A and B are shown apart, each in its own frame.
Chain A
Amino acid sequence: MSNGHFGIHGGQYIPETLMNAVIELEEAYNHYKNDPGFQEELAELLRNYAGRPSLLYFAAKMTGDLKGAKIYLKREDLNHTGSHKINNVLGQVLLAKRMGKTRVIAETGAGQHGVATATAAALIGMACEIFMGKEDTDRQRLNVYRMELLGAKVHAVTSGTQTLKDAVNETMREWTKRVADTHYVLGSVMGPHPFPIMVRDFQSLIGREVKQQMLQKEGRLPDALLACVGGGSNAMGLFYDFVKDPGVRLIGCEAAGRGIDTAETAATMATGTLGIFHGMKSYFCQDQYGQIAPVYSISAGLDYPGVGPEHANLRDTGRAEYVPVTDDEAVEAFEYLSRTEGIIPAIESAHAVAYARKLAPTMGKDQILVVNLSGRGDKDVAAIARYRGEQIDE
């Protein structure tokens, strides 16, 4: 029977060639998630290699400037490799090793997941190949070189729209060609079961840490959590431990690109409809015939026409809210956080910062807002300069 559902969403809509691979993965994951040896090895790497727990930083200047809720930033940007992606990747690559796999493959959009996968593969000793849309290899040249430095082979994907969706297509195709020795390290809370659950579990330490840190600092839970959502892994990681705390608002910020009333958008929740793609039932940007729409965002990491099935269900049930944030707003927030707090956020995370700038002033001074700073913005500096009309060589 059909597995891995969140309300009406989720499932395992993949070719028969891959079915035994995902079943084997599910069995291995269910075994090792309760295996003390595995958990200790992962915890050790997260502590001493990735640098966890990440800080929960009180952004005093931003709070003072916005004159509303107290703003805390969850500093996933300070992790090794510069984003939250390392949390999931260390888990999956360790798991793949225990499963006897010798090679990992992964898709990447902005390059953060690709860099994290290449890093873990180098550390743990696996062959690694990364699939990245040709348009993204152009937007994020430094990350391509970074992955190559780490020993990975990077394939520029020239099919379709040459962005994240096409990178996922090509990684799935590669997996069907060579599944016996290869694990697909999916980078977000999407795809066929068990990926949405497994990736969420590997990311859910973000929210658990926030809860503990918040109780220490403030003695209470926050009023709202903000995170950017492409596929949705950093948001799911932050939200998950708070789903059962109804007093905490969960707000996902998706990429509106040039606006949700234009065709150049990647805001799936605002503009998408129910569909089945990339192994899951969820919401997708598509036309009336189910052709997946070409989407657009300045952020390569949010430039995806779907959203993870658990998010789709959190929206259906009303437990979480999803708001669109435009390129312009994200770029302004990118610059704002750099100037105000001396922190250059990833352009993905800047979408959450942008909404914080709108939301905080509407909240009381006794209220608390946590923004997930999912990644650091070094990779985006040249692209933002170009957006502002300055040509900078990377």
Chain B
Amino acid sequence: MNKLQQVFAGGKAFIPFITAGDPSLEITEQLVLQMAEAGADLIELGIPFSDPIAEGPVIQEADNRALAGGATTDKIFSMVESIRKSCQVPLAFMTYVNPIFTYGTDKFMKKCKEIGIDAVIVPDVPFEEKEELLPFCSKYDVTLISMIAPTSNNRIRMIASEAQGFIYCVSSMGVTGVRQEIGNDVEEMIKLVKEVKDIPCAIGFGISTPEQAKQMAQFADGVIVGSAIVKIIGQYGVDCVPQVVEYVRSMKNSIK
């Protein structure tokens, strides 16, 4: 069993997102280690980008803080190496295509393999452009995660049939951010995926409360939470670790 299968093997998965380097790489390292202990099944690490067009204000600000604090792709790779000395929680990078392409896609994926990154999520590489990354992901055994959105409709079949690892289901229209209401389209979306392929589906965008997580977990295999956690980090800064850990534990408990 590879590490991504393991994410969904023990029941519903809780998948937190944090921006690497926000507020510092030291704190990010502590967050990863302690979120893993608190029950996170896979952790998404954002490599900050200057112009994250799929993000709402909360994660945009986290990216700004991380970049202003001096986080770079190389420093993030070093941090992951350090994490891997003591922690084997499955890890995915979430970033935009330009930081990968400009670093050198081959070099980037090679490095991912060396330091133990299991997957990459790249919101501005849709199905039609995945050849930009997929050959290099395959070469180094890094899973390229596919996304589907409420507007995907007739594209779901095509995307699902070639998806690997798990599918990132975007719950609602727009950018990342905390939402009061999440539509029921996403349940239909997952049904369609499962008709095509037996692959885990994790829902992201907008989820912040244990109640929402529990509701989503009724039909999804995993729940992804970003902005709600990044908000806590933004609020508490260097003192955020215990707050985030408590939040992650409560979210994981809600979907058990």
* Contact partner, A176, options B57, B74, B174, Cβ 8 Å: B174
* Contact partner, B153, options A20, A166, A276, A288, Cβ 8 Å: A20
Q: B103, A290: Cβ atoms under 8 Å? A: yes
Interface-side segment among A9-17, A86-94, A331-339 = A9-17
Q: A289, B151: Cβ atoms under 8 Å? A: no
* Contact partner, A277, options B51, B73, B128, B159, Cβ 8 Å: B51
Write the chain A residue with the least CB distance to B100. A290
- Tell whether A53 is near chain B: CB-to-CB under 8 Å: no
For the complex formed, measure the closest distance between the CB of B5 and the CB atoms of chain A, giving whole angstroms: 24
Q: Of residues 91 to 140 in B, which have CB atoms within 8 Å of A's CB atoms?
A: 97-103, 123-129, 131-132
In the bound complex, residues from chain B placing their C-beta under 8 Å from that of A291 are 49-50, 67, 99
How distant is the Cα of A176 from the Cα of B149 in the complex, in angstroms?
A: 10
Contact A16/B99 with A177-B173, A179-B173, A291-B49 known, Cβ cut-off 8 Å: no
* Contact partner, A16, options B67, B97, B170, Cβ 8 Å: B170
In the bound complex, residues from chain A placing their C-beta under 8 Å from that of B175 are 173, 176-177
In the bound complex, residues from chain B placing their C-beta under 8 Å from that of A288 are 102
- Tell whether B150 is near chain A: CB-to-CB under 8 Å: yes
In the bound complex, residues from chain A placing their C-beta under 8 Å from that of B159 are 16
Q: B102, A16: Cβ atoms under 8 Å? A: no
How distant is the Cα of A176 from the Cα of B53 in the complex, in angstroms?
A: 10
- Tell whether A1 is near chain B: CB-to-CB under 8 Å: yes
Contact with A along B44-60 (1 / 0, CB 8 A): 00000111011011001
Contact A17/B149 with A275-B102, A277-B51 known, Cβ cut-off 8 Å: yes
Q: A178, B152: Cβ atoms under 8 Å? A: no
Q: A16, B152: Cβ atoms under 8 Å? A: yes
Q: A286, B53: Cβ atoms under 8 Å? A: no
Contact with B along A4-40 (1 / 0, CB 8 A): 0000000111111111110000000000000000000
Contact A16/B148 with A2-B129, A177-B175, A179-B173 known, Cβ cut-off 8 Å: yes
Please report the total number of B residues contacting A with Cβ < 8 Å: 42
- Tell whether A273 is near chain B: CB-to-CB under 8 Å: yes
- Tell whether B209 is near chain A: CB-to-CB under 8 Å: no
How distant is the Cα of A188 from the Cα of B174 in the complex, in angstroms?
A: 23
In the bound complex, residues from chain B placing their C-beta under 8 Å from that of A271 are none
In the bound complex, residues from chain B placing their C-beta under 8 Å from that of A183 are none
Q: A289, B103: Cβ atoms under 8 Å? A: yes
Contact-residue bracket for chain A: 35 or more
Q: A290, B98: Cβ atoms under 8 Å? A: yes
For the complex formed, measure the closest distance between the CB of A74 and the CB atoms of chain B, giving whole angstroms: 34
Q: Which of the listed residues B67, B98, B100 has the most CB atoms from chain A within 10 Å of its own CB? A: B98
Q: Which of the listed residues B51, B54, B174 has the most CB atoms from chain A within 10 Å of its own CB? A: B51
How distant is the Cα of A177 from the Cα of B172 in the complex, in angstroms?
A: 8
Contact A159/B60 with A13-B124, A173-B53 known, Cβ cut-off 8 Å: yes
- Tell whether B147 is near chain A: CB-to-CB under 8 Å: yes
In the bound complex, residues from chain B placing their C-beta under 8 Å from that of A277 are 51, 98
In the bound complex, residues from chain B placing their C-beta under 8 Å from that of A276 are 97-98, 101, 124, 132
Q: A20, B123: Cβ atoms under 8 Å? A: no
Write the chain B residue with the least CB distance to A177. B174
Write the chain A residue with the least CB distance to B123. A15
How distant is the Cα of A18 from the Cα of B175 in the complex, in angstroms?
A: 11
Q: B173, A13: Cβ atoms under 8 Å? A: no
How distant is the Cα of A160 from the Cα of B103 in the complex, in angstroms?
A: 22
In the bound complex, residues from chain A placing their C-beta under 8 Å from that of B72 are 289
In the bound complex, residues from chain A placing their C-beta under 8 Å from that of B191 are none
Q: A17, B67: Cβ atoms under 8 Å? A: no
In the bound complex, residues from chain A placing their C-beta under 8 Å from that of B74 are 289
For the complex formed, measure the closest distance between the CB of A195 and the CB atoms of chain B, giving whole angstroms: 15
Q: A292, B51: Cβ atoms under 8 Å? A: yes
* Contact partner, B129, options A13, A172, A286, Cβ 8 Å: A13
Q: A17, B170: Cβ atoms under 8 Å? A: yes
In the bound complex, residues from chain B placing their C-beta under 8 Å from that of A160 are 50-51
- Tell whether A311 is near chain B: CB-to-CB under 8 Å: no
For the complex formed, measure the closest distance between the CB of B62 and the CB atoms of chain A, giving whole angstroms: 13
In the bound complex, residues from chain A placing their C-beta under 8 Å from that of B102 are 273, 275, 286, 288-290
Q: B99, A15: Cβ atoms under 8 Å? A: no
- Tell whether B155 is near chain A: CB-to-CB under 8 Å: yes
How distant is the Cα of A1 from the Cα of B129 in the complex, in angstroms?
A: 7
In the bound complex, residues from chain A placing their C-beta under 8 Å from that of B97 are 13, 276
- Tell whether A3 is near chain B: CB-to-CB under 8 Å: yes
In the bound complex, residues from chain B placing their C-beta under 8 Å from that of A179 are 151, 173
In the bound complex, residues from chain B placing their C-beta under 8 Å from that of A85 are none
In the bound complex, residues from chain B placing their C-beta under 8 Å from that of A19 are 126-128, 151-152, 155
Contact with B along A260-278 (1 / 0, CB 8 A): 0000000000000111111
- Tell whether A102 is near chain B: CB-to-CB under 8 Å: no
Q: Which of the listed residues A17, A165, A291 has the most CB atoms from chain B within 10 Å of its own CB? A: A17
Q: A178, B103: Cβ atoms under 8 Å? A: no
- Tell whether A162 is near chain B: CB-to-CB under 8 Å: no
In the bound complex, residues from chain A placing their C-beta under 8 Å from that of B54 are 15, 173, 176
For the complex formed, measure the closest distance between the CB of B130 and the CB atoms of chain A, giving whole angstroms: 9
Q: Which of the listed residues B49, B74, B174 has the most CB atoms from chain A within 10 Å of its own CB? A: B174
How distant is the Cα of A349 from the Cα of B128 in the complex, in angstroms?
A: 37
- Tell whether A143 is near chain B: CB-to-CB under 8 Å: no
In the bound complex, residues from chain A placing their C-beta under 8 Å from that of B153 are 20
B residues touching A (Cβ–Cβ < 8 Å)?
A: 49-51, 53-54, 56-57, 60, 67, 72-74, 97-103, 123-129, 131-132, 147-155, 159, 170, 173-175
**Listed A/B pairs (21) with beta-carbon separation below 8 Å:** A2-B128, A12-B129, A15-B124, A15-B126, A15-B147, A16-B127, A16-B148, A16-B151, A17-B173, A17-B174, A19-B126, A20-B151, A20-B155, A166-B51, A173-B54, A276-B132, A290-B98, A290-B101, A291-B99, A292-B50, A292-B98
State the 4 A-B residue pairs at the shortest beta-carbon distance, nearest first. Answer: A290-B102, A177-B174, A17-B149, A290-B99
**What 9 additional pairs, Cβ within 8 angstroms, besides A17-B173, A19-B152, A165-B51?**
A17-B149, A17-B174, A20-B151, A159-B57, A173-B56, A173-B175, A179-B173, A276-B98, A278-B53
